[in-house]
């Protein structure tokens, strides 16, 4: 079982609630953070004890990093900051926060991606980051980015952690930005010398953002395209970001190479493990659905 | 030796300096500060005139800044990047604690064939091998974690540089592989990641 709490900020997705369903299948405890006006819809389909109502103060206080105030959605950042403080109040040193459009989780080994329903999936990643003094954030990569033919190690250091984030609570950062908050937080940490760990051995099966309705960012992309998002990225971290026009639309490119110098620092007060530890996970044959 | 007095705020510490950075609370830092207070600077800092990069004396510079010094005497050299790094290593070899991953990066960055002999860094090949054995590889960091194998480990890796995105796309076409911006490395011949839908980790 995971030792740190799992949270899902959710908006308008009480029908699909993909991540909740995936975590139910794994049998791990979780909480869903929702806005007050959607309580009845969520309460009709999810155990009420799992629901937390977002304190509106977090929306009022949120640093959107622009001058547009309340004229647009502030994205998932306010709920994620609420979660951060909630887990601290409960006495946890780390917490998980994940999007509500993840349909499942996989392990990768021998170039094979295989679904997992084992709760050890979470514990293994937690144990890994706890071996070091200087990991600020970690998480599984998207399964679709574990590309065929790409030579990949079990983890990559010092890049963006997105959509399913294990975050150390005592570091002096918080979510900010109306867009790109994952990249902004990752860069805030990396520039301060912290390491981030993106796992290829553990993967998330995320549905493409605009494939299912609802979500905090739905309002953005349908109306605006990706230009404001890319512009905010460049404004927040201009030293490592640039805009590029490729394949018929605006992209932003972030250069993570300067953070190669952030090295993992091992804790010296633990016995370093050896060999393979599958955390009790067993590979079984099933009928394909 | 060419000695000059320069303003401290015009000196650029070498970003690759592989020495452990001392903090004011470290005993070694305190010893250094006492020595400078007692004897002043008896040995100049070493500065590369190309970019005003500090090659030797990073910890002393830190102490001098803390002491509020505005100027310092330096020995000025004029070296290309590879030799600048080699001299940094040679000067630093005598004492102090290495930041091993940074040291490894530095040794790799100067091992480009430009230097007549890697041993001008002050390290013998044997010493380099012994130091590198202490740097942890990704496989070593993954000890005690779930199995992660590459059944066909690579035997040779070649880095190819492209000047234009169009050339990258053309290269992928020649290899009959599909290109996306996320790709950092590829296999040739291509290896497939498979989704095994008839298996599950429980």
C-beta atoms surrounding A265 within 10 Å: 13
A44-48, A263-267, B21-25, B92-96: which is most confident: A44-48
CA distance A137 to A17: 25
C-beta atoms surrounding A222 within 10 Å: 10
Structure tokens at A86: 């909630």
Please, are residues A272 and A266 in contact by the beta-carbon 8 Å criterion?
Answer: yes
Residue of A153, A261, A288 lying closest to B102 (CB–CB): A261
Q: Do B146 and A109 touch (CB under 8 A)?
A: yes
Residues in chain B: 202
CB pairs under 8 A between A and B: 143
Beta-sheet strands, E only, within A110-222: 112-116, 135-142, 155-157, 164-168, 195-206
CA distance B182 to B188: 17
Structure tokens at A103: 């349909």
Mean pLDDT value across residues A66-91: 91
Which 245-284 residues of chain A touch chain B by CB within 8 A? 246, 251, 253, 260-261, 263-264, 266, 272-279, 281-284
- Classified as helix, coil or strand, B156 is coil
Strands A195-206 and A102-109: antiparallel
Please, are residues B172 and A88 in contact by the beta-carbon 8 Å criterion?
Answer: no
Q: Do A112 and B183 touch (CB under 8 A)?
A: no
Mean pLDDT value across residues A72-101: 95
CA distance A155 to B142: 9
Please, are residues A78 and A97 in contact by the beta-carbon 8 Å criterion?
Answer: no
C-beta atoms surrounding B29 within 10 Å: 17
Q: Do A124 and B182 touch (CB under 8 A)?
A: no
Residue of A150, A251, A253 lying closest to B183 (CB–CB): A150
Residue A53 φ/ψ, nearest 5 degrees: -90, 130
Structure tokens at B81: 């990047």
Tens digit of each residue's pLDDT (9 = 90 or more) over A213-237: 666 555 555 566 677 778 888 888 8
CA distance B130 to B138: 18
Residue of B184, B185, B200 lying closest to A116 (CB–CB): B200
At B72 the pLDDT is 93
Tens digit of each residue's pLDDT (9 = 90 or more) over A273-289: 999 999 999 999 987 65
Structure tokens at B152: 């066909």
At A151 the pLDDT is 57
Tell me the shortest Cα–Cα distance from B182 to chain A, in angstroms.
7
How are strands ordered across the β-sheet holding B2-7?
B2-7, B71-77, B45-48, B53-56, B12-13
- Given a cut of 70, is residue A248 above it in pLDDT? no
Residue of B145, B185, B187 lying closest to A277 (CB–CB): B145
At A224 the pLDDT is 66
Task: Provide, rounded to the nearest whole percent, the portion of chain A with pLDDT above 90.
Answer: 64
Please, are residues B101 and A263 in contact by the beta-carbon 8 Å criterion?
Answer: yes
Tens digit of each residue's pLDDT (9 = 90 or more) over A138-187: 999 988 777 555 557 899 999 999 999 999 999 999 999 988 899 999 99
B191 or A49: which leads in pLDDT: A49
CB crowding A132-145: b at 16 or more within 10 Å, else e: bebbbbbbbbbbeb
Q: What is the DSSP letter of A31?
A: E
pLDDT along chain B (202 residues), means of 10: 91 85 81 84 91 92 92 93 86 66 74 70 72 74 91 72 89 88 76 80 92
Q: What is the DSSP letter of B185?
A: -
> B193: which chain A residues are within 8 Å (Cβ-Cβ)?
108, 111-113, 146-150
Residue of A127, A260, A284 lying closest to B202 (CB–CB): A284
Banded pLDDT at A246 (limits 50, 70, 90): low
At A209 the pLDDT is 55
- Taking the model in full, what pTM does it have? 0.71
Tens digit of each residue's pLDDT (9 = 90 or more) over A8-37: 999 999 999 999 999 999 999 999 999 999
Q: Do A117 and B99 touch (CB under 8 A)?
A: no
Q: Do A286 and B186 touch (CB under 8 A)?
A: no
Contacts of A91 (CB under 8 A, 6+ apart): none
Q: Do B193 and A263 touch (CB under 8 A)?
A: no
Tell me the shortest Cα–Cα distance from B177 to chain A, in angstroms.
9
CA angle (A60, A66, A68) in 5-degree steps = 65
Banded pLDDT at A60 (limits 50, 70, 90): very high
Banded pLDDT at A210 (limits 50, 70, 90): low
Tell me the shortest Cα–Cα distance from A246 to chain B, in angstroms.
9
At A222 the pLDDT is 58
Residue of A275, A276, A283 lying closest to B201 (CB–CB): A283
> A124: which chain B residues are within 8 Å (Cβ-Cβ)?
145-146
CA distance A185 to A171: 11
At B95 the pLDDT is 53
Tens digit of each residue's pLDDT (9 = 90 or more) over B24-38: 888 778 888 888 888
Please, are residues A54 and A37 in contact by the beta-carbon 8 Å criterion?
Answer: no
C-beta atoms surrounding A130 within 10 Å: 16
CA distance B115 to B120: 8
């Amino acid at each position: 079982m995971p030792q740190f709490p799992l949270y899902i900020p959710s908006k308008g997705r009480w029908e699909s609630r993909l991540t909740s369903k995936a975590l139910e299948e794994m049998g791990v405890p979780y909480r869903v953070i929702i806005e007050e006006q959607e309580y009845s819809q969520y309460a009709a389909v999810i155990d009420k004890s799992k629901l937390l109502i977002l304190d509106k103060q977090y929306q009022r206080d949120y640093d959107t990093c622009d001058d547009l105030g309340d004229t647009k959605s502030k994205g998932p950042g306010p709920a994620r900051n609420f979660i951060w403080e909630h887990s601290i109040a409960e006495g946890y040193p780390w917490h998980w926060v994940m999007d509500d459009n993840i349909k499942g989780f996989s392990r990768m080994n021998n170039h094979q991606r295989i679904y997992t329903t084992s709760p050890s999936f979470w514990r293994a990643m937690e144990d890994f980051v706890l071996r070091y003094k200087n990991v600020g954030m970690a998480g599984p990569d998207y399964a679709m980015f574990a590309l065929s033919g790409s030579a990949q190690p079990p983890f990559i250091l010092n890049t963006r952690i997105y959509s399913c984030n294990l975050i150390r609570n005592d570091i002096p950062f918080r979510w900010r930005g109306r867009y790109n908050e994952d990249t902004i937080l990752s860069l805030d940490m990396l520039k301060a010398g912290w390491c981030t760990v993106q796992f290829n051995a553990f993967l998330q099966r995320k549905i493409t953002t605009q494939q299912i309705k609802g979500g905090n960012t739905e309002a953005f992309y349908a109306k605006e395209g990706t230009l404001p998002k890319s512009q905010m990225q460049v404004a927040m971290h201009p030293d490592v970001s640039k805009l590029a026009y490729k394949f018929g639309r605006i992209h932003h490119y972030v250069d993570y190479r300067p953070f190669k110098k952030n090295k993992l620092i091992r804790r010296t007060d633990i016995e370093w493990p050896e060999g393979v530890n599958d955390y009790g996970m067993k590979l079984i044959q099933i009928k394909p659905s | 030796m060419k000695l000059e007095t320069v303003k401290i705020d015009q000196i650029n510490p070498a970003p690759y300096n592989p020495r452990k950075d001392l903090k004011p609370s470290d005993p070694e830092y305190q010893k250094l500060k006492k020595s400078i207070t007692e004897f002043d600077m008896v040995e100049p800092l070493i500065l590369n005139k190309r970019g005003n990069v500090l090659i030797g004396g990073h910890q002393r510079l830190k102490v001098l800044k803390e002491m509020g010094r505005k100027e310092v005497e330096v020995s000025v050299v004029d070296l290309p990047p590879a030799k600048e790094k080699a001299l940094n290593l040679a000067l630093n070899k005598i004492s102090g604690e290495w930041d091993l991953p940074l040291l490894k990066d530095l040794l790799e960055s100067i091992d480009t064939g430009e230097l007549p002999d890697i041993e001008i860094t002050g390290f013998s090949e044997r010493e380099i091998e012994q130091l590198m054995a202490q740097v942890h590889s990704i496989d070593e960091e993954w000890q005690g974690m779930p199995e992660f194998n590459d059944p066909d480990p690579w035997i040779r890796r070649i880095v190819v540089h492209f000047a234009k995105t169009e050339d990258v796309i053309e290269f992928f076409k020649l290899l009959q592989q599909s290109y996306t911006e996320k790709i950092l490395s590829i296999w040739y011949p291509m290896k497939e990641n498979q989704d095994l839908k008839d298996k599950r980790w429980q």
